[in-house]
């Protein structure tokens, strides 16, 4: 069965983890595109502030304060969206939790919490979404990571969780294809994004956490998500650095192991004091409402690698034209000799 996704202006979109970072960037972009959106997160006050701000700009926004680690959250979220909008067309699983520290010093309870939020929250959301979309069609979009391909030292539980999200998403997509369902299943793999991730993660390192370069604008992930909401794609990687790391892991995994061991610890710590009021949100929500981190970093505002994935024919044309110009230049240089 063919997959025919609606234009964004016709869609009703569910977004989890919507009060900060990537989730908030998706919410802002979806609302600006004319979609009706249901935002889910734990922080009710932040949700209300975001709803009011987006509705003041002309958006149609519903909110539900909910913890995706609760096994029944997805059914409640689907029911609330059905009551408000009559259904949904795209479900975006973005909510996640993270820790910094060695595996030995990270309590099993904290590691389990990372999975309860990021993996089981995604599983419950995606399966509930599929039960509603299997006949009428739509999109399921799971936020993975470049760490779905290559684990990061001192982020072991998060890396393992994102590997699991990729495995689940790939298996779900194969089942959807086998059953001929009109549902697109996409994995989005962001590189390091300038979100409040270092402020939100529980940190057991001796110094404040920071994201290692290269760092990208989280709004690029929102661009990828909204593209996948109306154009079926299997995967989209945001940030060429992340794509390069994944290729490096295939070609020289041992070398990357040693590089991670040598440089990964220092690259993720800073001597700068953390932003005022910083505390993790592993078990309880904290102040939200920011797309980007408060840490001053050099942030890349575009990803040519993402554009090439979204528009491969255009990218091939540009590459072909570039090679043509190079060939013409070389031919001209030969004639001048």
Active site residues: 158
The string of DSSP letters for 91-122 reads: EEE-----EEB-TTTS-HHHHHHHHIIIIIHH
Encode burial over 277-312: b for 16+ CB neighbours within 10 A, e otherwise: ebebbbeebbbbebbbbebebebbeebebbbbbbee
Decide if 125 contacts 132 (C-beta within 8 A): no
Q: What's the distance, CA 147 to chain centroid?
A: 11
- Cα 143 to Cα 85: distance, rounded to the nearest angstrom: 24
- Cβ atoms of 26 and 222 within 8 Å: the answer is yes
CA angle 214, 220, 226 (to 5 degrees): 155
Label the pairing between strands 99-100 and 36-41.
unpaired
Among residues 40, 38, 27, which one has the least CA distance to residue 68?
40
How, if at all, do strands 215-216 and 183-190 pair? Answer: unpaired
The DSSP code sequence of 127-185 is HHHHHHHTTT-EEEEEE--GGGTS--TTBHHHHHHHHHHHHHHHHHHHHHHHTT-SEEE
**Torsion over CA: 135, 138, 143, 144 (sign):** positive
Closest by Cα among 123, 114, 138 to 14: 138
Provide the β-strand partners of residue 235. 187
């Amino acid at each position: 069965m063919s997959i025919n996704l609606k234009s964004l202006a016709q869609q009703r979109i569910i977004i989890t983890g919507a009060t900060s970072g990537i989730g908030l960037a998706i919410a802002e972009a979806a609302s600006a595109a004319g979609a009706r959106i249901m935002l889910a997160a734990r922080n009710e006050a932040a949700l209300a502030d975001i709803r009011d701000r987006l509705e003041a700009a002309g958006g149609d926004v519903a909110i539900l304060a909910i913890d995706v680690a609760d096994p029944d959250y997805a059914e409640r979220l689907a029911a609330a969206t059905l009551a408000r909008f009559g259904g949904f067309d795209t479900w975006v699983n973005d909510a996640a939790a993270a820790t910094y520290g060695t595996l030995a010093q990270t309590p099993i309870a904290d590691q389990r919490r990372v999975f309860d939020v990021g993996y089981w929250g995604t599983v419950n959301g995606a399966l509930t979404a599929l039960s509603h979309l299997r006949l009428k069609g739509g999109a399921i979009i799971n936020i993975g990571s470049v760490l779905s391909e290559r684990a990061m030292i001192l982020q072991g539980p998060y890396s393992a969780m994102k590997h699991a999200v990729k495995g689940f998403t790939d298996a779900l997509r194969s089942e959807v294809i086998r059953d001929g369902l009109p549902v697109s299943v996409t994995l989005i793999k962001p590189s390091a994004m300038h979100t409040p991730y270092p402020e939100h993660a529980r940190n057991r390192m001796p110094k404040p956490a920071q994201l290692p370069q290269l760092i990208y604008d989280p709004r690029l992930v929102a661009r990828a998500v909204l593209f996948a909401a109306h154009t079926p794609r299997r995967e989209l990687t945001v940030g060429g650095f992340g794509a390069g790391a994944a290729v490096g892991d295939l070609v020289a995994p041992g070398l990357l192991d040693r590089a991670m061991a040598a440089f990964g610890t220092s690259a993720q710590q800073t001597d700068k004091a953390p932003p005022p009021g910083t505390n993790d949100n592993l078990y309880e929500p904290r102040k939200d409402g920011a797309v980007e981190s408060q840490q001053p970093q050099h942030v890349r505002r575009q990803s040519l690698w993402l554009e090439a994935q979204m528009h491969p024919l255009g990218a091939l044309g540009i590459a072909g034209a570039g090679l043509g110009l190079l060939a013409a230049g070389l031919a001209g240089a030969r004639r001048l000799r």
